[in-house]
C-alpha cells in the first residue's frame, strides 16, 4: 500500500467537504443538452459554450431531474417568480433563494455557484463578487473534467475582473485572478504568476499571494522556492496550518525525516479535525520507523 500523503488530505479537506455536501460537479456522461430554461442567463451560458463546450443549461436541467417531486415543485415556484419579477431587488432575492436551495436542499455545487455568481453580478458589489469568485476558484484544483474546469475558471475570471472594475486596488482579487489562470488553464501560467508577483512586489506581507506563489512553485517543481515562500508565510503567521503542512510534505519528499516529523508534530497541535489529526500521527510514526 502506498504511504498516505498527509498534505494532500489536509490541503484538500475543504474541497472534500464541498464534494460531500454537493456531490457531482458535472452532468452524467451521455446526457443530452436541454433547451434553455433561464433566458436571463443566456449571455453567460453562450459565452461558456463557445469557450469550453460546457452548458450551464444542461447542468441545470440534469440537476432538476434528480430532485424529489416536492423539491421540483418548490424550484418551479422560485423560477416562475423570476420571470414575473422585473424589479432588481425582487430578482436578487430570488437568486439568493435559488442559491440556498441548490446548496442546502439539493446539495448541487454548480447550480449553487451559478446562482451565487448571478446574484453577485446583479448586485455588483465588491464583497459579493469576490465571494462568488472564490467559490469557483476554491474548487478548481479538484475538478478533473476539462470542460467543467474551463467553464468554472471563466466564471471566476469574469467575477474577479468585475471586482477589480469596482475597486482596482483589491489585491485579493488580483491574486485570485492570477490563481484562476494557474488552476483553470486559461491564458498562460506565467500570466497568472505575473499578476500574483505584482501584489507581492508591492506588499511582501500579503500571505494569500505568498501562499499562492508557493503552490505555483510546487506545480513547476521549484521546491526550494516554495520552501522560501512558506517560510516567509510562517514568519508572518506562525500558526498557518496549510504552510506548516506543506513544509512538512516538502521535507518528507526531500528525505529529511527529522524536519518532516517536526513540522507534522506542530500541525497535530493545530489541526481541529480528529480524522486528520489521526492521519498525521500515523504519518509521524511511520517516519520514525
| Domain ranges for the chain | 51-202
The pLDDT of residue 112 is above 80:
yes
Q: 94 near 87, Cβ under 8 Å? A: no
In whole angstroms, what is the distance from residue 133 CA to residue 79 CA? 23
C-alpha grid cell, residue 275? 480524522
Q: What is the mean pLDDT of the chain?
A: 84
| Mean pLDDT score, 158-181 | 97
| Mean pLDDT score, 268-272 | 93
Query: DSSP string spanning 33-96?
Result: P---S-GGGHHHHHHHHHHHS--HHHHHHHHHHTS-HHHHHHHHHHHHHHHH--SHHHHHHHHH
| Mean pLDDT score, 155-178 | 97
Look at residue 27 in the predicted model and tell me its pLDDT: 43
Look at residue 33 in the predicted model and tell me its pLDDT: 36
pLDDT range class, residue 80, cuts 50, 70, 90: confident
Helix, strand, coil % over all residues of the chain, rounded to 5: 80, 0, 20
| Mean pLDDT score, 182-209 | 94
Task: Please give the model's pTM, rounded to 2 decimal places.
Answer: 0.79
Chain CA centroid to CA 185, Å: 14
Look at residue 7 in the predicted model and tell me its pLDDT: 39
In whole angstroms, what is the distance from residue 50 CA to residue 99 CA? 25
Q: 63 near 102, Cβ under 8 Å? A: yes
pLDDT range class, residue 86, cuts 50, 70, 90: low
The pLDDT of residue 203 is above 90:
yes
In this prediction, what percent of the chain has a pLDDT beyond 70?
81
| Mean pLDDT score, 18-38 | 39
The pLDDT of residue 21 is above 90:
no
In the numeric block, the cell 416562475 is attached to: 80
Question: Where does residue 23 fall: left (phi above 0), alpha (psi -120 to 50 degrees), or beta otherwise?
Answer: left
Look at residue 239 in the predicted model and tell me its pLDDT: 96
Q: How many helices (H) and strands (E) does the chain have?
A: 16, 0
The pLDDT of residue 19 is above 80:
no
Query: Phi, psi at residue 208, to the nearest 5°?
Result: -60, -45
C-beta neighbour count of 282 within 10 angstroms: 13
Chain CA centroid to CA 167, Å: 22
Domain 51-202: CATH class, spelled out: mainly alpha
Amino acid at each position: 500500500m502506498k504511504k498516505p500523503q498527509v498534505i494532500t488530505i489536509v490541503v484538500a479537506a475543504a474541497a472534500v467537504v464541498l464534494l460531500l455536501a454537493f456531490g457531482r460537479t458535472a452532468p452524467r456522461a451521455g446526457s443530452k443538452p436541454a433547451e434553455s430554461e433561464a433566458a436571463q442567463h443566456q449571455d453567460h451560458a453562450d459565452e461558456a459554450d463557445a469557450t469550453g463546450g460546457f452548458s450551464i443549461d444542461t447542468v441545470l436541467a440534469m440537476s432538476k431531474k434528480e430532485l424529489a417531486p416536492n423539491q421540483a415543485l418548490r424550484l418551479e415556484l422560485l423560477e416562475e417568480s423570476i420571470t414575473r419579477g422585473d424589479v432588481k431587488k425582487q430578482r436578487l432575492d430570488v437568486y439568493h433563494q435559488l442559491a440556498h436551495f441548490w446548496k442546502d436542499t439539493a446539495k448541487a455545487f454548480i447550480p449553487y455557484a451559478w446562482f451565487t455568481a448571478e446574484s453577485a453580478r446583479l448586485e455588483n458589489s465588491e464583497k459579493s463578487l469576490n465571494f462568488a469568485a472564490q467559490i469557483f476558484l476554491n474548487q478548481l484544483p479538484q475538478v478533473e473534467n476539462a470542460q467543467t474546469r474551463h467553464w468554472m475558471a471563466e466564471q471566476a475570471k469574469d467575477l474577479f475582473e468585475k471586482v477589480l472594475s469596482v475597486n482596482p486596488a483589491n489585491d485579493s482579487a488580483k491574486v485570485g485572478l492570477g490563481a484562476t489562470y494557474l488552476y483553470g488553464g486559461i491564458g498562460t501560467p506565467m500570466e497568472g504568476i505575473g499578476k500574483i508577483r505584482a501584489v507581492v512586489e508591492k506588499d511582501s506581507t500579503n500571505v494569500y499571494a505568498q501562499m499562492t506563489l508557493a503552490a505555483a512553485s510546487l506545480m513547476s517543481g521549484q521546491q526550494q522556492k516554495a520552501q522560501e515562500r512558506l517560510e516567509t508565510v510562517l514568519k508572518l503567521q506562525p500558526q498557518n496550518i496549510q504552510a506548516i503542512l506543506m513544509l512538512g510534505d516538502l521535507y518528507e519528499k526531500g528525505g529529511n525525516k527529522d524536519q518532516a516529523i517536526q513540522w507534522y508534530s506542530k500541525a497535530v497541535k493545530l489541526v481541529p479535525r480528529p480524522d486528520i489529526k489521526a492521519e498525521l500521527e500515523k504519518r509521524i510514526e511511520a517516519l520514525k520507523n
